């Protein structure tokens, strides 16, 4: 995140990092993470992906990752 070459190729915005983290919590969490936490993380990430990006990330929590 700290490396920025002036283009979007090496830049992650704080919103993008937050959406990715919340999707990780929702999609790849350990068995002991409560379902309510995973569902809330997915809903929050999907809401942020729609409302805080001009061009959305192209995926939502629960869908196959493009990487």
The dihedral built from the CA positions of residue 64, 65, 66 and 67, taken in this order, carries a sign that is negative
Taking the C-alpha atoms of residue 40 and residue 49, their distance in angstroms, rounded to an integer, is: 14
pLDDT, position 13: 76
Question: Mean pLDDT, consecutive 10-residue segments, the chain of 67 residues?
Answer: 62 81 93 95 92 78 74
pLDDT, position 16: 84
pLDDT, position 11: 67
Taking the C-alpha atoms of residue 10 and residue 2, their distance in angstroms, rounded to an integer, is: 9
Q: Is 48 within 8 Å of 56 (Cβ atoms)? A: no
């Amino acid at each position: 995140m700290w490396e920025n070459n002036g283009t979007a190729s090496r830049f992650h915005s704080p919103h993008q990092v937050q959406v990715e983290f919340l999707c990780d919590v929702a999609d790849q969490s350990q068995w002991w993470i409560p379902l309510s936490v995973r569902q809330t993380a997915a809903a929050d990430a999907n809401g942020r992906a729609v409302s805080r990006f001009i061009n959305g990330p192209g995926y939502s929590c629960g869908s196959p990752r493009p990487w």
